[in-house]
Amino acid sequence: MQNFRTIKGTHDLLPNELNLWREVENFVHTLMQQNGYGEIRTPAFENTELFVRGIGTDTDIVTKEMYSWTDQGGNTLTLKPELTAPVARAYLQHQMGNQNPIHRLYYIDALFRRERPQKGRQRQFHQFGAEAIGSSNPEQDAEIISLAYNIFKKFDIQNMSVRLNSIGNAEIRPVYLENLRSSVKKIKLKLCATCQTRIEKNALRLFDCKNTHCQELLDEHAPLIFDSISDKDQAHFEMVTRILNEIEIPYFHDKKLVRGLDYYSHTTFEVTSSVLGAQDALCGGGRYNGLIEQLGGKSTPAVGFAAGIERLILAIDKQNISENSPNIYLIHFGDETTVTASKIANDLRLNCGKTVVMETLRRSFKSQMREAGRCGAKTTIILGEKELAANKIIVKDMSTGNQNEVPISDINQFFNKTS
RNA sequence: GUGGCUGUAGCUCAGUUGGUUAGAGCGCCUGACUGUGGCUCAGGAGGUCGUGGGUUCGAAACCCAUCAGCCACCCCA
Q: A222-231 pLDDT, tens per residue?
A: 899 899 899 9
Q: How confident is the model at residue A352 (pLDDT cuts 50, 70, 90)?
A: very high
Residue A366 has pLDDT above 70, yes or no: yes
For residues A254 and A248, give the distance between their C-alpha atoms in angstroms, rounded to a whole number: 18
Provide CATH code, domain A328-417: 3.40.50.800
Q: What average pLDDT does the segment A147-153 reach?
A: 97
Instruction: Tell me the β-bridge partners of A328.
Output: A356, A379
Query: Which residue, A207, A197, A215, is CA-closest to A176?
Result: A207
For residues A397 and A79, give the distance between their C-alpha atoms in angstroms, rounded to a whole number: 52
Confirm whether any atom of chain B, the nucleic acid strand, is less than 7 Å from CB of A17.
no
Residue A200 has pLDDT above 90, yes or no: no
* DSSP state at residue A223: P
Residue A24, C-beta contacts closer than 8 angstroms, at least 6 positions apart: A128, A151, A155, A309, A312, A313, A316
Domain ranges in chain A are 15-169+229-319, 328-417
Confirm whether any atom of chain B, the nucleic acid strand, is less than 7 Å from CB of A359.
no
More confidently predicted of A189 and A34: A34
CA of A2 to C1' of B20 (A): 32
ipTM: 0.85
For residues A5 and A147, give the distance between their C-alpha atoms in angstroms, rounded to a whole number: 37
CA of A361 to C1' of B45 (A): 17
Contact A89, A131 (CB under 8 A): no
Q: Which of A161-175, A206-220, A347-361 has the lowest mean pLDDT?
A: A206-220
Is CATH 2.60.40.420 the classification given to domain A15-169+229-319? Answer: no
For residues A55 and A261, give the distance between their C-alpha atoms in angstroms, rounded to a whole number: 6
Q: Which strands make up the sheet holding A302-308, listed edge to edge?
A: A38-39, A103-112, A124-133, A302-308, A281-287, A265-273, A160-166, A252-253
Please report which helix (H) or strand (E) contains residue A90, including its range.
helix A84-93
For residues A187 and A140, give the distance between their C-alpha atoms in angstroms, rounded to a whole number: 40
A372 closest-nt by C1' vs CA: B37
Confirm whether any atom of chain B, the nucleic acid strand, is less than 7 Å from CB of A106.
no
Residue A25 has pLDDT above 90, yes or no: yes
For residues A346 and A355, give the distance between their C-alpha atoms in angstroms, rounded to a whole number: 10
CA distances from A347 to A82, A302, A351, A356 (A): 46, 51, 5, 10
Confirm whether any atom of chain B, the nucleic acid strand, is less than 7 Å from CB of A407.
no
Confirm whether any atom of chain B, the nucleic acid strand, is less than 7 Å from CB of A6.
yes
Q: A273-314 pLDDT, tens per residue?
A: 988 988 999 999 999 999 999 999 999 999 999 999 999 999
* DSSP state at residue A172: H
For residues A32 and A358, give the distance between their C-alpha atoms in angstroms, rounded to a whole number: 37
CA of A332 to C1' of B24 (A): 37
For residues A16 and A199, give the distance between their C-alpha atoms in angstroms, rounded to a whole number: 47
A211 closest-nt by C1' vs CA: B73
> Among chain A residues 207 through 226, which have CB within 7 angstroms of nucleic chain B?
208-210
